[in-house]
Structure 1
Amino acid sequence: MFERRGGEELLEQDPAEQPPDGHVVFIGRVLSPWVERENCPRNMRAAREIGQAASLLIDEPYRPGLAGLERVTHIHALTWMHHAPRNLIVQKPRHATEAKGVFALRSPARPNPVGLHSAQLLSFDIETGRIELDAIDALDGTPIIDIKPYFPSVDVLADALMPDRSER
């Protein structure tokens, strides 16, 4: 259970209690050393600083979809942050001075708790469905929604601005 901080707001209806409409399927699970939320790095930069590798384990029916992945060095993994609350619409992170709407934050607590993890692809095995990554900021067992190749030619946004550290 998550404790609300001053300035935080909840949605009137929890999205977790609404009927599903997207037919999203999980294609595998994260294998990471992080079993408790308190120990999990809060972002990929922190995960890399710790230096702990991680893996994705893709379920058998989806393993043929890994063909061609040997052509890329990095991937985006999309996960379902299944332990995060879904009814918190305005949050006040511990490090922030003011509350912000969830769409201005990278917090996993949001109506659809989709995690985005851009990681270096170390190796993969189509037969076993195991993908080795340099790091991940997700709990062990976190469901995987999708994997996409990272393409520097389209994924790098040269004019993007970095928010102040206090804003992240």
Structure 2
Amino acid sequence: MTEITPIGIVRSPYKKHGDAPRQGRENEDNEMEIEIYEEYSAGIGDFSGISHIIILLWFDRADRKRLFDTPPGTNKKRGIFTIRSPNRPNPIGFDIGKIKSVEGNKIIVSGLDALDNTPVVDIKPYVPSIDCVPDATDLRDRSKKADLKN
């Protein structure tokens, strides 16, 4: 298997588990810095015309043995692949950050839920026409429907 090599690191105000919001978009006012390592900084290129990016993270402080976890708002354990817990066999995080500015090898963004010093695995542009699925559903949709029946 190929080894994953971080391309950078997140500089965040969130220092320990419990500091970060459950989802980064819940607190879009907090700005963070993605510092791209020197050997990958040429890949930053020009972000003009791109407002948001997908950031793939390695949640290095996650519990990699968990296959079940309890999502917020419920007391029912669910299979790890049906929820967004950072605790999973391969703790890859997926955030969408709003670009605030680019300064050398640093991308200033908002909308992340990463802890300070979280390794960045990759960055891709967010493309609304292909990344947004308007008719998709999730667990919250099912719980809203259940609430309406009760």
Same fold by TM-score greater than 0.5: yes
Matches within 5 A, 1:80-119: 80-119=58-97
Contact conserved, 2:9 with 2:118, CA < 8 A, in 1? Answer: yes
Structure 1: how far apart are the matches of 2:130 and 2:71? 31
Give the structure-2-normalised TM-score.
0.88
* Distance (Å, rounded) in 1 between the aligned partners of 2:111 and 2:13: 10
1:31-46 correspondence runs (5 A): 31-46=11-26
Identical positions, percent: 33
| CA–CA separation in structure 1 for the residues paired with 2:54 and 2:3 | 21
User: Which stretches in structure 2 are left out of the alignment for 5+ residues?
Assistant: 144-150
Alignment counterpart, residue 38 of structure 2, candidates 60, 81, 98: 60
Q: Matches of residues 111-130 of structure 1 in structure 2 within 5 Å?
A: 111-125=89-103, 128-130=104-106
Q: 1:77 aligns with which of 49, 55, 58?
A: 55
Taking a change above 3 Å as real, the CA distance of residues 165 and 39 of structure 1, as seen in their structure-2 partners, is farther
Q: How many pairs does the alignment contain?
A: 143
Structure 1 regions of 5+ residues with no counterpart?
1-20
Work out the CA distance in 1 between the residues paired with 2:141 and 2:22. 13
Amino acid at match of 1:146: D
User: Do structure 1's residue 150 and structure 2's residue 126 form an aligned pair?
Assistant: yes
| Residue in structure 2 matched with residue 13 of structure 1 by the alignment | none
Q: Is contact 1:96-1:166 (8 Å) kept?
A: no
Q: Where does 1:8-27 land on structure 2 (aligned, <5 Å)?
A: 21-27=1-7
